[in-house]
A and B are shown apart, each in its own frame.
Chain A
Amino acid sequence: MRRVTKLAAAVTTTAALALTATACGESSTDSAGKKDKGVGLAFDVGGRDDHSFNEAAARGVDKAEKELGVKSKEMTAGNDETEADREQRLTSLAEAGYNPVIGVGFDYGKSINKVAEKFPKTTFGVVDSPSKQKNVAGLVFAEHEASYLAGVAAAKKTKTKKVGFIGGVNNALIQKFEAGFAQGVKDTDPKVKVTSQYLYPTNTKGFNDPAAAKAKAKGMLDADNDVIYSAAGQSGVGSIEVISKKKGTWAIGVDSDQYQQPGLAKYKDAILTSAVKNVDVAVYDLVKSVKDGKPMDGTTSFDLKEDGVSLATSGGFIDDIQKDIDKAKKEIVDGKIKVADSPKK
Chain B
Amino acid sequence: MKKFDKDRMVLAIGAPLLALVAALVITSGVIGVTGKDPFHAFYVMLDFGIKSDSQVWIINKAIPYYLAAVAVAIGFRMNLFNIGVDGQYRIAAFCAAVLGGALTLPGFIQIPLILLVAMLVGAVWSGIAGLLKTTRGVSEVVTTIMLNFIAASTIGYFLQDGRLAVKDGNLFHTPDIPASSHFFTIPTTPDPIDGTLILAVVTGAAYWFVLGRTRFGFDLRAVGRSESAASASGVSVKRMVVTSMVLSGLVAGLVGMPTLLNKSFNYGTDFPAGIGFTGIAIALLGRNHPVGMALGALLWGFLERTGTQLEFEEYAQEIVGVMQGVIVLCVVIAYEVVRRYGLRMQQRQVGEQLAKQARKREKKAEVSA
Q: Which A residues contact B (CB, under 8 angstroms)?
A: 1, 5-6, 9-10, 13, 17, 19-29, 31, 73, 75-76, 78-85, 88-89, 92, 96, 106-107, 109-110, 128-130, 169-173, 200-205, 342, 345
Inter-chain CA distance A31–B155, complex, in Å, is 43
Interface residues of B in 153-172 (CB under 8 A from A): 153, 155-157, 159-162, 167, 169-172
B201 CB, min distance to chain A CBs, angstroms? 9
User: Are B50 and A25 in contact, CB atoms less than 8 angstroms apart?
Assistant: yes
Inter-chain CA distance A342–B161, complex, in Å, is 10
Interface residues of B in 261-289 (CB under 8 A from A): 263-264, 269-275
B234 contacts the other chain (Cβ, under 8 Å)? no
User: Are B53 and A110 in contact, CB atoms less than 8 angstroms apart?
Assistant: no
Interface residues of B in 297-352 (CB under 8 A from A): 304-305, 308-309, 311-312, 317, 321
User: Are A202 and B155 in contact, CB atoms less than 8 angstroms apart?
Assistant: yes
Segment at the A interface, from B115-123, B126-134, B185-193, B358-366: B185-193
Inter-chain CA distance A76–B312, complex, in Å, is 11
Out of B51, B162, B274, which one reaches A79, CB within 8 Å?
B274
Residue of A whose beta carbon sits closest to that of B13? A5
User: Are A92 and B52 in contact, CB atoms less than 8 angstroms apart?
Assistant: no
User: Are B170 and A83 in contact, CB atoms less than 8 angstroms apart?
Assistant: no
With A75-B311, A172-B167 known to touch, is A83 a contact of B264 (CB < 8 Å)? Answer: yes
Out of A29, A85, A173, which one reaches B53, CB within 8 Å?
A29
User: Are A21 and B188 in contact, CB atoms less than 8 angstroms apart?
Assistant: yes
Which of B155, B159, B269, B321 counts the most A-chain CB atoms under 10 A from its CB?
Answer: B269
12 contacts between A and B (CB under 8 A): A1-B5, A20-B59, A31-B51, A75-B308, A82-B272, A83-B272, A89-B308, A106-B171, A109-B171, A172-B161, A172-B172, A202-B156
On chain B, the residues within 8 Å of A27 by CB distance are: 51-53, 189-190
Number of interface residues of B (CB under 8 A): 55
B60 contacts the other chain (Cβ, under 8 Å)? yes
Residue of B whose beta carbon sits closest to that of A30? B51
Inter-chain CA distance A6–B50, complex, in Å, is 24
On chain B, the residues within 8 Å of A73 by CB distance are: 312
Inter-chain CA distance A110–B173, complex, in Å, is 12
User: Are B55 and A20 in contact, CB atoms less than 8 angstroms apart?
Assistant: yes
B9 contacts the other chain (Cβ, under 8 Å)? yes
With A9-B291, A202-B155 known to touch, is A171 a contact of B269 (CB < 8 Å)? Answer: yes
Inter-chain CA distance A81–B55, complex, in Å, is 19
B61 contacts the other chain (Cβ, under 8 Å)? yes
Inter-chain CA distance A251–B48, complex, in Å, is 46
B30 contacts the other chain (Cβ, under 8 Å)? no
On chain A, the residues within 8 Å of B312 by CB distance are: 73, 75, 92, 96
A342 CB, min distance to chain B CBs, angstroms? 7
Inter-chain CA distance A81–B274, complex, in Å, is 9
Q: Which B residues contact A (CB, under 8 angstroms)?
A: 5, 8-9, 12, 48, 50-57, 59-61, 152-153, 155-157, 159-162, 167, 169-172, 186, 188-190, 193, 259, 263-264, 269-275, 291, 294, 304-305, 308-309, 311-312, 317, 321
Out of A5, A19, A23, A79, which one reaches B190, CB within 8 Å?
A23
On chain B, the residues within 8 Å of A5 by CB distance are: 12
User: Are A200 and B171 in contact, CB atoms less than 8 angstroms apart?
Assistant: no
User: Are B152 and A1 in contact, CB atoms less than 8 angstroms apart?
Assistant: no
Residue of B whose beta carbon sits closest to that of A85? B304
User: Are B264 and A13 in contact, CB atoms less than 8 angstroms apart?
Assistant: no
User: Are B169 and A109 in contact, CB atoms less than 8 angstroms apart?
Assistant: yes
B159 CB, min distance to chain A CBs, angstroms? 6
With A27-B52, A172-B171 known to touch, is A75 a contact of B272 (CB < 8 Å)? Answer: no
User: Are A6 and B53 in contact, CB atoms less than 8 angstroms apart?
Assistant: no
User: Are A29 and B269 in contact, CB atoms less than 8 angstroms apart?
Assistant: no
User: Are B170 and A128 in contact, CB atoms less than 8 angstroms apart?
Assistant: yes
B11 CB, min distance to chain A CBs, angstroms? 12
On chain A, the residues within 8 Å of B59 by CB distance are: 17, 20
Out of B54, B170, B321, which one reaches A171, CB within 8 Å?
B170
On chain A, the residues within 8 Å of B186 by CB distance are: 21
Inter-chain CA distance A22–B273, complex, in Å, is 32
A214 CB, min distance to chain B CBs, angstroms? 18
User: Are B305 and A88 in contact, CB atoms less than 8 angstroms apart?
Assistant: yes
User: Are B321 and A78 in contact, CB atoms less than 8 angstroms apart?
Assistant: yes
Inter-chain CA distance A28–B61, complex, in Å, is 17
On chain A, the residues within 8 Å of B55 by CB distance are: 19-20, 23
Inter-chain CA distance A128–B169, complex, in Å, is 9
B72 CB, min distance to chain A CBs, angstroms? 16
Q: Which 10 A-B pairs have the closest CB atoms?
A: A201-B156, A80-B274, A106-B170, A82-B272, A173-B170, A23-B52, A28-B51, A27-B53, A20-B55, A27-B52
Inter-chain CA distance A106–B172, complex, in Å, is 12
Out of A13, A84, A106, A200, which one reaches B57, CB within 8 Å?
A84
**Interface contacts beyond A88-B305, A172-B167: sample of 17 additional A-B pairs, CB < 8 Å, sorted by A:** A1-B5, A20-B193, A23-B56, A25-B52, A26-B52, A27-B53, A75-B317, A80-B275, A82-B272, A83-B272, A169-B269, A171-B170, A172-B171, A172-B172, A172-B269, A201-B155, A203-B273
User: Are A24 and B269 in contact, CB atoms less than 8 angstroms apart?
Assistant: no
On chain A, the residues within 8 Å of B274 by CB distance are: 79-80
Inter-chain CA distance A263–B51, complex, in Å, is 41
On chain B, the residues within 8 Å of A106 by CB distance are: 169-171
A170 CB, min distance to chain B CBs, angstroms? 6
User: Are B156 and A170 in contact, CB atoms less than 8 angstroms apart?
Assistant: yes
B58 CB, min distance to chain A CBs, angstroms? 9
Inter-chain CA distance A202–B268, complex, in Å, is 9
User: Are A88 and B57 in contact, CB atoms less than 8 angstroms apart?
Assistant: yes
Inter-chain CA distance A197–B149, complex, in Å, is 16
B176 CB, min distance to chain A CBs, angstroms? 12
User: Are B193 and A172 in contact, CB atoms less than 8 angstroms apart?
Assistant: no
Inter-chain CA distance A85–B306, complex, in Å, is 11
User: Are A80 and B157 in contact, CB atoms less than 8 angstroms apart?
Assistant: no
On chain B, the residues within 8 Å of A129 by CB distance are: 169-170
